[in-house]
Every structure is written in structure tokens, then in C-alpha cells.
Amino acid sequence: MSKERINIFTGHFGSGKTEVAVNFALNSASRTKKVAIVDLDIVNPYFRTADAKSELENKGIWVITPMYANTNVDVPALPPEINTLFERKDYNVILDIGGDDLGAKVLARYKDELIYQGYCMYFVVNTKRPMTDTDEKLEHMIYEIESSSGLKVTKLINNTNLLDQTNMEVVIEGHSAIKRISDKLNIPIGFVSGFADLVGGVEKEIDIEFFSLKKLIKLPWN
């Protein structure tokens, strides 16, 4: 896990950023006292951090969502409380960013402050997503997100999955692709994430930390 106070989750839209960020917040809250998660997604209309609000708040996490999240309007407004978090240095901060370069654009607004304070910017990868299923596309996506945010990706996360149809082969295949990008761009892999049924198995095959996810962003029939 990162040692930085501010952890940013970026990636291709649908890569699982929110699921990973929300679980990351819960994990942080089990180790440190003050954790805040900020929903800065200006792309996705449904399936947001706000879906897990009560679960997060039960663990004492400060959940900051745009006032229009999960309402019937589509207003890409940023929550003002984020500015407080740059001052409140006693908080560990998790920023959940919208997908692609479009979503990462919001970071440019806070770029100077983030560079000044230091950050860890994760790039969440699912190689089973159609726009990041080749090395070229992956590299291009990283380039686009860095260009639009003005920040550097500091760690990669292998979140390769097919939801309920995920198996070990899927995760390992994703890992090979991400390893190639990691070596080429010299960006370390932070961890592999996946649902709990993969615990143990993945670590046997890949020598890297496995971060177990609990499904918190649900469908009406889950």
C-alpha cells in the first residue's frame, strides 16, 4: 500500500476504479483513524462511490460526493469540501476520478496543490475492457490521462476481471500485459485486486500483493 497521504485512482472508464477506491478507503480506515474519500467522477451517471456511502460512513469514513450524485440530473459539479482536505493534513485522502482522459481532467484543477503536497496516482487496469485490451491501447490511455491531468501515474493496479466469470487465468493474463507496460514505462505495479474467491491462488502464481475486494457497488439484483 502507498505511504502517501493522498491517493488518486484513475483509469479507463469501467476499469473498476470506484470498486477499488472504495475498498481502499475501507482498508485504510482499518489501519488509520481519519480517512476521507472524494467522488470526483464527472463521467459516470450511475454506479458511484455514493452507492457505498452508508457502508463507508459506518466505518467512520468521511464521504464527500457531489451534491447531484445519484440524483435525477447530470451535473458534473465538483464538491467544494475537497479544498478542506488539502488543509486537514490529519486526513488520509482517497480521490475517485472519472474514467479516461475526460474524467482525469478534473485533476488539472488541483494539480499544483497535489504536486506540492505529494501524491500517489494509481492507474487501474482491466485488460478485459475493449479500449485497454492491447499494450498499445494501454500505453496510450496512460499517456492521455497524464496529459489531461498534468500528473504522473506512479503505480499500476491489475484489476483484470470478468466480474462473476473471473478465473485465475484471466488475472494472470492481465498481469503479463501490465508487467510489460510496467517494465517499459518504469512504473511499478502496486497490487493485484480481485474478489475474495481469488485469495491465495493469485499470490501463488504472481509474486505481488493481492488486495481483496468486497463488492460494494451493486446491481439491483445483486
Residues lying near other proteins in the complex (CB under 8 A) are found at: 14, 44-47, 71-74, 126, 128-131, 133, 161-165, 219-221
Q: Closest distance between other proteins and the C-beta of residue 98, in Å?
A: 13
Residue with Cβ nearer other proteins (73 or 204):
73
Phi-psi category of 160—alpha, beta or left, where left has phi over 0 and alpha has psi -120 to 50?
beta
Residue with Cβ nearer other proteins (32 or 134):
134
63-86: burial string, b at 16+ Cβ within 10 Å, e else: bbbbeebeeeeeeeebbeebeebe
**CA nearest to 183, candidates 149, 156, 143, 145:** 156
Residue with Cβ nearer other proteins (19 or 146):
19
Q: Closest distance between other proteins and the C-beta of residue 168, in Å?
A: 14
Q: Closest distance between other proteins and the C-beta of residue 42, in Å?
A: 12
Q: Which three cell numbers stand for residue 222?
A: 445483486
Residue with Cβ nearer other proteins (2 or 15):
15
Q: Closest distance between other proteins and the C-beta of residue 52, in Å?
A: 16
Q: Closest distance between other proteins and the C-beta of residue 64, in Å?
A: 21
The continuous run of DSSP H or E covering 184 comes out as helix 168-185
- CB within 8 A of 100, min separation 6: which ones? 12, 13, 43, 131, 141, 144, 145
